[in-house]
Amino acid sequence: MHLYRDSSSDLYIHAKTTIVDAGFSDQRIYVGSINFSRASMDDNRELGIITTDATIVKDVNAVVTGDYSNCTPATDCSNYD
């Protein structure tokens, strides 16, 4: 797990995404608000989309990669909420 430090200047990221096989012919991506829990999937009103559109997969993958490069490994969670 990687996290952003608890700071008002950092992003608040609520959306979830799963990217599968980016750059390959069978690539696909899910983007949405669904938490990966039973309650979120079965009881809440959530929204998400799955697409295989190469441009969308490439663009979202670039954003996620950039976000990931700006956070730190959560080896000591005492500084995080």
pTM of the full structure: 0.68
Tokens of 21: 């096989």
Model confidence band, residue 56 (pLDDT cutoffs 50, 70, 90): very high
Over residues 15-35, the pLDDT tens digits come to 788 999 988 999 999 999 888
